[in-house]
Structure 1
Amino acid sequence: MNDRTYDDPPADGRLLPWTGDGGKPCYVLGDGTGYVSRLADQIESVQLGMAGELIDHAAELLTEHRLTDRELHYLARQLATSLREVKRVAESRGARLPAPDPE
Protein backbone atom coordinates (compact mmCIF):
# COMPACT_ATOMS: atom_id res chain seq x y z
CA MET A 1 0.00 0.00 0.00
CA ASN A 2 1.44 3.35 -1.02
CA ASP A 3 -0.62 6.01 0.75
CA ARG A 4 1.39 8.86 2.26
CA THR A 5 0.90 12.27 3.74
CA TYR A 6 2.49 15.30 2.10
CA ASP A 7 2.86 18.96 2.92
CA ASP A 8 2.35 19.73 -0.78
CA PRO A 9 0.21 17.38 -2.87
CA PRO A 10 2.08 15.27 -5.41
CA ALA A 11 1.22 16.22 -8.98
CA ASP A 12 0.25 12.66 -9.87
CA GLY A 13 -1.30 11.69 -6.53
CA ARG A 14 -4.94 11.05 -5.74
CA LEU A 15 -6.37 12.69 -2.63
CA LEU A 16 -7.78 9.92 -0.45
CA PRO A 17 -11.02 10.13 1.53
CA TRP A 18 -9.18 9.80 4.84
CA THR A 19 -6.49 11.77 6.60
CA GLY A 20 -3.16 10.88 8.11
CA ASP A 21 -1.42 11.95 11.29
CA GLY A 22 -2.60 15.31 12.54
CA GLY A 23 -5.35 15.48 9.94
CA LYS A 24 -2.90 15.84 7.05
CA PRO A 25 -4.19 14.80 3.62
CA CYS A 26 -3.23 11.37 2.30
CA TYR A 27 -2.51 10.60 -1.34
CA VAL A 28 -2.00 7.43 -3.30
CA LEU A 29 0.33 7.23 -6.27
CA GLY A 30 -0.45 4.93 -9.15
CA ASP A 31 -2.68 4.40 -12.14
CA GLY A 32 -5.93 4.29 -10.14
CA THR A 33 -6.48 0.55 -10.44
CA GLY A 34 -4.76 -0.71 -7.30
CA TYR A 35 -6.17 -1.87 -3.99
CA VAL A 36 -5.94 1.53 -2.26
CA SER A 37 -7.65 3.30 -5.18
CA ARG A 38 -10.47 0.74 -5.21
CA LEU A 39 -10.85 1.07 -1.43
CA ALA A 40 -10.97 4.86 -1.79
CA ASP A 41 -13.69 4.52 -4.46
CA GLN A 42 -15.76 2.36 -2.10
CA ILE A 43 -15.33 4.73 0.84
CA GLU A 44 -16.22 7.74 -1.31
CA SER A 45 -19.38 5.96 -2.46
CA VAL A 46 -20.38 5.25 1.14
CA GLN A 47 -19.61 8.83 2.20
CA LEU A 48 -21.73 10.29 -0.61
CA GLY A 49 -24.59 7.90 0.12
CA MET A 50 -24.51 8.72 3.82
CA ALA A 51 -24.43 12.44 3.03
CA GLY A 52 -27.60 12.11 1.00
CA GLU A 53 -29.32 10.21 3.79
CA LEU A 54 -28.17 12.75 6.36
CA ILE A 55 -29.52 15.64 4.28
CA ASP A 56 -32.91 13.91 4.06
CA HIS A 57 -32.88 13.16 7.79
CA ALA A 58 -31.92 16.75 8.65
CA ALA A 59 -34.69 18.14 6.46
CA GLU A 60 -37.21 15.86 8.15
CA LEU A 61 -36.01 16.76 11.65
CA LEU A 62 -36.05 20.47 10.91
CA THR A 63 -39.59 20.47 9.51
CA GLU A 64 -41.31 17.93 11.76
CA HIS A 65 -39.75 18.31 15.17
CA ARG A 66 -38.87 20.95 17.66
CA LEU A 67 -35.21 20.21 18.32
CA THR A 68 -33.48 20.81 21.60
CA ASP A 69 -30.26 22.81 21.58
CA ARG A 70 -28.35 19.57 22.15
CA GLU A 71 -30.06 17.80 19.23
CA LEU A 72 -29.52 20.78 16.94
CA HIS A 73 -25.85 20.95 17.93
CA TYR A 74 -25.42 17.23 17.22
CA LEU A 75 -27.15 17.57 13.84
CA ALA A 76 -24.93 20.53 12.92
CA ARG A 77 -21.79 18.58 13.85
CA GLN A 78 -22.88 15.61 11.74
CA LEU A 79 -23.69 17.86 8.79
CA ALA A 80 -20.31 19.60 9.10
CA THR A 81 -18.50 16.26 9.15
CA SER A 82 -20.42 15.07 6.13
CA LEU A 83 -19.82 18.32 4.25
CA ARG A 84 -16.08 18.03 4.94
CA GLU A 85 -16.09 14.48 3.52
CA VAL A 86 -18.07 15.47 0.42
CA LYS A 87 -15.75 18.43 -0.16
CA ARG A 88 -12.76 16.08 -0.04
CA VAL A 89 -14.43 13.76 -2.58
CA ALA A 90 -15.13 16.72 -4.87
CA GLU A 91 -11.54 17.97 -4.59
CA SER A 92 -10.18 14.50 -5.29
CA ARG A 93 -12.39 13.94 -8.30
CA GLY A 94 -11.88 17.46 -9.62
CA ALA A 95 -8.11 17.07 -9.46
CA ARG A 96 -8.37 13.94 -11.60
CA LEU A 97 -10.35 15.58 -14.40
CA PRO A 98 -8.42 16.07 -17.61
CA ALA A 99 -7.23 19.58 -18.30
CA PRO A 100 -9.66 21.44 -20.59
CA ASP A 101 -8.73 21.70 -24.24
CA PRO A 102 -7.75 25.35 -24.88
CA GLU A 103 -9.52 25.30 -28.25
Structure 2
Amino acid sequence: MTTPNELRLLPWTGPDGKPCFLSTDDSSGYMSRLADNIESAQLGMATALLDQALDILAQAETDPEDLRLLTKDLTGALRDTLRVATSRGHRLDSRSTDQRPR
Protein backbone atom coordinates (compact mmCIF):
# COMPACT_ATOMS: atom_id res chain seq x y z
CA MET A 1 0.00 0.00 0.00
CA THR A 2 1.20 3.51 -0.83
CA THR A 3 1.73 5.76 2.17
CA PRO A 4 0.84 9.48 2.02
CA ASN A 5 4.51 10.52 1.94
CA GLU A 6 4.98 8.42 -1.23
CA LEU A 7 2.29 10.40 -3.06
CA ARG A 8 3.15 13.53 -5.01
CA LEU A 9 0.90 16.50 -4.39
CA LEU A 10 0.05 17.80 -7.84
CA PRO A 11 0.03 21.53 -8.63
CA TRP A 12 -3.71 21.56 -9.31
CA THR A 13 -6.88 20.64 -7.49
CA GLY A 14 -9.86 18.59 -8.49
CA PRO A 15 -13.18 20.14 -9.55
CA ASP A 16 -14.32 20.31 -5.92
CA GLY A 17 -11.11 22.03 -4.78
CA LYS A 18 -9.64 18.93 -3.13
CA PRO A 19 -5.94 18.18 -3.64
CA CYS A 20 -4.85 15.75 -6.34
CA PHE A 21 -2.05 13.25 -5.81
CA LEU A 22 0.10 11.10 -8.08
CA SER A 23 1.42 7.69 -7.13
CA THR A 24 4.35 6.71 -9.34
CA ASP A 25 7.93 5.51 -9.14
CA ASP A 26 8.72 7.16 -12.49
CA SER A 27 9.73 10.78 -11.96
CA SER A 28 10.21 11.13 -15.73
CA GLY A 29 6.78 9.80 -16.64
CA TYR A 30 4.18 11.89 -18.49
CA MET A 31 2.22 13.00 -15.41
CA SER A 32 5.39 13.82 -13.45
CA ARG A 33 6.72 15.91 -16.34
CA LEU A 34 3.35 17.63 -16.74
CA ALA A 35 3.31 18.48 -13.03
CA ASP A 36 6.92 19.75 -13.22
CA ASN A 37 6.03 22.00 -16.18
CA ILE A 38 2.93 23.39 -14.49
CA GLU A 39 4.88 24.04 -11.27
CA SER A 40 7.49 25.90 -13.29
CA ALA A 41 4.83 28.00 -15.02
CA GLN A 42 3.13 28.77 -11.68
CA LEU A 43 6.40 29.92 -10.13
CA GLY A 44 7.17 32.02 -13.21
CA MET A 45 3.76 33.67 -13.03
CA ALA A 46 4.26 34.37 -9.32
CA THR A 47 7.58 36.05 -10.08
CA ALA A 48 6.04 38.22 -12.80
CA LEU A 49 3.11 39.09 -10.53
CA LEU A 50 5.46 40.11 -7.74
CA ASP A 51 7.24 42.49 -10.12
CA GLN A 52 3.86 43.91 -11.18
CA ALA A 53 2.81 44.31 -7.54
CA LEU A 54 6.00 46.21 -6.73
CA ASP A 55 5.34 48.56 -9.66
CA ILE A 56 1.72 49.17 -8.65
CA LEU A 57 2.60 49.76 -5.00
CA ALA A 58 5.34 52.22 -5.98
CA GLN A 59 2.78 54.47 -7.66
CA ALA A 60 1.67 57.49 -5.65
CA GLU A 61 -2.00 56.82 -6.35
CA THR A 62 -3.49 53.47 -7.23
CA ASP A 63 -7.11 52.79 -8.11
CA PRO A 64 -8.81 50.67 -5.42
CA GLU A 65 -10.12 48.31 -8.09
CA ASP A 66 -6.55 47.72 -9.30
CA LEU A 67 -5.52 46.92 -5.71
CA ARG A 68 -8.43 44.46 -5.34
CA LEU A 69 -7.43 42.69 -8.57
CA LEU A 70 -3.80 42.64 -7.47
CA THR A 71 -4.78 41.15 -4.11
CA LYS A 72 -6.86 38.45 -5.82
CA ASP A 73 -4.01 37.58 -8.21
CA LEU A 74 -1.41 37.57 -5.41
CA THR A 75 -3.62 35.30 -3.30
CA GLY A 76 -3.88 32.79 -6.15
CA ALA A 77 -0.15 32.92 -6.81
CA LEU A 78 0.63 32.44 -3.13
CA ARG A 79 -1.74 29.45 -2.95
CA ASP A 80 -0.04 27.86 -5.99
CA THR A 81 3.46 28.59 -4.67
CA LEU A 82 2.65 27.06 -1.29
CA ARG A 83 1.30 23.94 -3.01
CA VAL A 84 4.53 23.65 -5.03
CA ALA A 85 6.64 24.12 -1.89
CA THR A 86 4.60 21.54 0.02
CA SER A 87 4.88 19.03 -2.81
CA ARG A 88 8.62 19.51 -3.19
CA GLY A 89 9.14 19.36 0.57
CA HIS A 90 7.30 16.04 0.77
CA ARG A 91 9.40 14.64 -2.07
CA LEU A 92 12.62 15.78 -0.37
CA ASP A 93 11.49 14.13 2.87
CA SER A 94 10.72 10.86 1.13
CA ARG A 95 14.08 10.90 -0.68
CA SER A 96 16.00 11.43 2.54
CA THR A 97 14.02 8.57 4.13
CA ASP A 98 14.81 6.34 1.14
CA GLN A 99 18.54 7.05 1.45
CA ARG A 100 18.88 6.15 5.13
CA PRO A 101 20.94 3.03 5.79
CA ARG A 102 18.97 0.06 7.04
TM-score interval, normalised by the smaller of the two chains:
0.7 to 0.9
1:17 corresponds to: 11
Cα offset, 1:85, TM superposition:
0.2
- Which of 70, 79, 96 is residue 99 of structure 1 equivalent to? 96
User: Which residue does the alignment assign to 1:4?
Assistant: none
1:26 aligns with 2:51: no
Deviation at 1:65, TM superposition (A): 4.8
Instruction: Determine which of 34, 39, 42 is the counterpart of 1:44.
Output: 39
Superposed CA offset, 1:10-67 (max 9, x none): 3311000000131000011102221011000000001001101100110011102521
Which one of 13, 18, 35 corresponds to residue 30 of structure 2?
A: 35
State the secondary structure of the residue aligned to 1:22.
coil
| Secondary structure of residue in 1 paired with 2:33 | helix
Task: State the Cα distance separating 1:77 from its structure 2 match.
Answer: 0.3
5+ long unaligned stretches in structure 2: none
Counting helix residues as a fraction of each chain, which structure ranks higher? 2
Greater RCO, CA 8 A, separation 6+: 2
CA RMSD of aligned residues (A): 1.6
Q: Comparing both structures, which one devotes a greater share of its residues to strand?
A: 1
Q: Distance in 1 between matches of 2:4 and 2:15?
A: 17
Q: Sequence identity of aligned pairs in percent?
A: 48
Tell me how far apart the structure 2 counterparts of residues 77 and 89 of structure 1 sit (CA, whole Å).
19
